[in-house]
């Protein structure tokens, strides 16, 4: 029986580590969604560092056809045989179909609408799927200065859909972001259209407790799936807004031993 653990996955992982961490659950669920999209047709995925990169590389091993990985460093169609250590990893360029400049990757590939899926994270996510990765507190005298925008605002603007991967907590899942770095649904239904944003916005949030999706009409993020062993109460207690649940609330399948084994291979840096 799988138990959803909130234990941080930062310890060294080994192939024999069969304990499923919170990060594992998020990564596997992200990889599943990406695999499904890829299997249903082409899925081009704009990949950042950290969990999204692990998820995308796991999806590459689990699905056929695999998703097409695109990195903001300019690598298009990278097929790394081991998990890249950074988005500047030489392996990404060596195995890419094409390597282009940074201005080109943003203009010709992301902005032009050639990216189906963009993964994003952040320090805060609000009920309308907007993301803060800039500051906690006041911009001019911040409590915590975060790294900032990077590629996120334009991924949020132009990707066919955005998947957010974040641990769920009252601190992070807020009524309104302290700073709106990236637009989800802005001020609500119709706002993206008014802003002229062509991408689909925050279509899925993958947390350590389950999945959230925007409700048709209001665009408010509601829990649509719980991970095995997670209660509604846990979700409500970990959310800074009055969390709603889908009428047909579902369970995500438990992380299978095959998935876990392949994930451990990816994390250990094993070549494929």
Partner 1 sequence: MTVAMEGFTHLIPHAAGHEIIRQGRKDLHVVRMTPDVVFDQLIGAGCVRKLTFSWGGNPGVGSLHRFRDAVENDWPHKIEIEEHSHAGMAARYVAGASGLPFGILRGYLGTDLVGRHAGIKTVDCPFTGERLAAIQALNPDVSVIHAQRADRDGNVQIWGLIGVQKEAVLSAQVAIATVEEIVDTLSPVPGAVVLPSWVMGAVACVPRGAHPSFAMGYSERDNAFYQGWDAVSADRDKFREWIQTHVLSSADHAEMLASLREAGDILV
- Which parts of this chain interact with partner 1 (CB under 8 A)? 42, 44, 49-50, 68, 72-77, 85-90, 92-93, 97-99, 101-103, 106-108, 110-114, 134, 139, 142-145, 147-154, 157-158, 179-183, 186, 191-192, 195-198
Task: Give whichever of 46 and 173 is closer to partner 1, judged by the CB atom.
Answer: 46
Task: Give whichever of 166 and 211 is closer to partner 1, judged by the CB atom.
Answer: 166
Task: Give whichever of 154 and 262 is closer to partner 1, judged by the CB atom.
Answer: 154
Distance CA 260, CA 241 (A): 33
Instruction: Please confirm, yes or no, whether 261 is among the known catalytic residues.
Output: no
> What is the closest distance, in whole angstroms, from the C-beta atom of residue 37 to partner 1 in the complex?
14
* Cβ density class 92-129: b for 16+ within 10 Å, e for less: beebbeebbeeeebbeebbeeebbbbbbbbbbbbbbbb
- Of the candidates 12, 72, 193, 262, the residue annotated as catalytic is 72
> What is the closest distance, in whole angstroms, from the C-beta atom of residue 17 to partner 1 in the complex?
21
> What is the closest distance, in whole angstroms, from the C-beta atom of residue 152 to partner 1 in the complex?
7
> What is the closest distance, in whole angstroms, from the C-beta atom of residue 171 to partner 1 in the complex?
17
Task: Give whichever of 199 and 240 is closer to partner 1, judged by the CB atom.
Answer: 199
Q: Which residues are catalytic?
A: 72
């Amino acid at each position: 029986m799988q138990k959803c653990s909130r234990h941080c996955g930062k310890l060294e992982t080994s192939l024999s580590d069969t304990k499923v961490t919170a990060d594992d659950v998020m990564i596997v669920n992200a990889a599943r969604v990406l695999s499904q999209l890829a299997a249903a047709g082409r899925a081009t995925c704009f990949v950042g560092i950290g969990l999204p990169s692990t998820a995308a590389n796991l999806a590459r091993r689990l699905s056929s056809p695999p998703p097409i990985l695109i990195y903001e460093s300019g690598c298009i169609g990278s097929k790394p045989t081991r998990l890249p250590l950074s988005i500047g990893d030489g392996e990404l360029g060596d195995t890419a179909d094409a390597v282009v400049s940074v201005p080109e990757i943003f203009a010709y590939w992301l902005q032009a609408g050639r990216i189906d899926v963009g993964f994003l994270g952040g320090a805060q996510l609000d009920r309308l799927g907007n993301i803060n990765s800039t500051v906690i507190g006041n911009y001019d005298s911040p409590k915590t200065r975060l790294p900032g925008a990077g590629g996120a605002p334009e991924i949020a603007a132009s990707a066919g859909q955005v998947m957010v991967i974040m641990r769920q907590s009252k601190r992070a899942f807020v009524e309104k972001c302290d700073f709106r770095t990236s637009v989800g649904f802005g001020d609500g239904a119709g706002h993206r259209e008014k802003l002229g944003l062509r991408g689909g916005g925050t279509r899925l949030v993958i947390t350590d407790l389950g999945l959230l999706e925007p409700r048709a009409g209001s665009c408010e993020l509601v829990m649509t799936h719980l991970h095995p062993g997670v209660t509604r109460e846990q979700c409500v207690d970990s959310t800074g807004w009055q969390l709603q649940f889908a009428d047909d609330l579902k369970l995500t399948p438990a992380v299978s031993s095959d998935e876990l084994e392949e994930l451990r291979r990816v994390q250990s840096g094993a070549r494929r």
